[in-house]
Amino acid sequence: MSKITEQNNSRTKTLIISDLHLVSGELEKTGLFIKFCQNEAQEADQLFILGDLFNSWLGDDLSIANYQNVIEALKSLSQDTNIYVMAGNRDFLLGNKFKKESGCKILIEPHFIDNNNKRYVLIHGDTLCTDDIDYQKLKKILQHPITKFIFLRLPKKLRLRLSGQLRKKSVEAQKYKSKNIMDVNTDSVDKFMRNHPNTDLIHGHTHRKRVHNNEGYTRYVLGDWYVDRGSAIKLEDGLDFIEIN
């Protein structure tokens, strides 16, 4: 059974975001996120980042240096706000040095939180995209502990080269995939939610912000972050989508 976040009282102010896909050197979106850390997130008791905060993460030893300003913003936010980071399919190599330097705690999915007499299950979302068989196969290989172990020990230059090639392939593959294939499979969602009765689902990954009212549960899909505006879910006296700008 997964852990439940300690604060169970209904007045815990929680913000949930995902899929910022920050790229080092892309200053506008990075700046928007840093501003968010200094304002909206500062007023929250806890912030959940449900994966793909970073567009790529090739190991703490290589990537922390590329995102120094983001790490510093997280660190200073972590003094007042509990920050929980879930790995996405882009940044699943976030490690111990990241945890230490950013002040974030790393969550394993699924993670459950209670708010205002309602239980929510949080996941990144890619596990439910079961129609994309090639993606699921590749994920199994890339995120296998042995692959991760070996990759993290490769020279930095080689890691950069390999990830560049992989990214190119994935962009090409996406061109030929239908839009439906890259969304969640509703049977897989139903099956997953049957294991978690009286719970609503919050996830990201698909970049299709929406509220889906299904039989027995509601599925909330987190919104995108652009250079000039972002999106978050706020839990306080209920659930609201808020715009960040």
Q: How far is the CB of 12 from Mn ion (least distance, A)?
A: 26
Q: Which residue is nearest to Mn ion (CB)?
A: 205
Nearest-angstrom CA–CA distance, 185 and 214: 13
Which pair of tokens denotes residue 93?
A: 């190599």
Q: Can you say how many angstroms the Cα of residue 140 is from the centroid of all Cα atoms in its chain?
A: 18
Q: How far is the CB of 155 from Mn ion (least distance, A)?
A: 27
SS3 136: helix
- Position 91 contacts Mn ion (CB under 5 A): no
SS3 72: helix
Q: Which of residues 17-76 bind Mn ion (CB under 5 A)?
A: 52
Nearest-angstrom CA–CA distance, 148 and 222: 28
- Position 223 contacts Mn ion (CB under 5 A): no
Q: Which of residues 161-200 bind Mn ion (CB under 5 A)?
A: none
- Position 132 contacts Mn ion (CB under 5 A): no
Q: How far is the CB of 52 from Mn ion (least distance, A)?
A: 4
Residues 126, 109: contact at Cβ < 8 Å? no
Nearest-angstrom CA–CA distance, 110 and 127: 10
CB nearer to Mn ion: give 61 or 134.
134
- Position 89 contacts Mn ion (CB under 5 A): yes
CB nearer to Mn ion: give 100 or 210.
210
Nearest-angstrom CA–CA distance, 112 and 173: 33
Which pair of tokens denotes residue 81?
A: 């706000």
Q: How far is the CB of 238 from Mn ion (least distance, A)?
A: 27
Q: How far is the CB of 18 from Mn ion (least distance, A)?
A: 8
Among positions 88, 110, 223, 230, the unique one binding Mn ion when judged by CB under 5 A: 88
Q: How far is the CB of 139 from Mn ion (least distance, A)?
A: 10
Residues 199, 119: contact at Cβ < 8 Å? yes
Q: What is the DSSP string of 224-244?
A: P--SS-EEEEEESSSEEEEEE
CB nearer to Mn ion: give 115 or 233.
233
Q: Contact positions toward Mn ion, by CB under 5 A?
A: 52, 88-89, 205
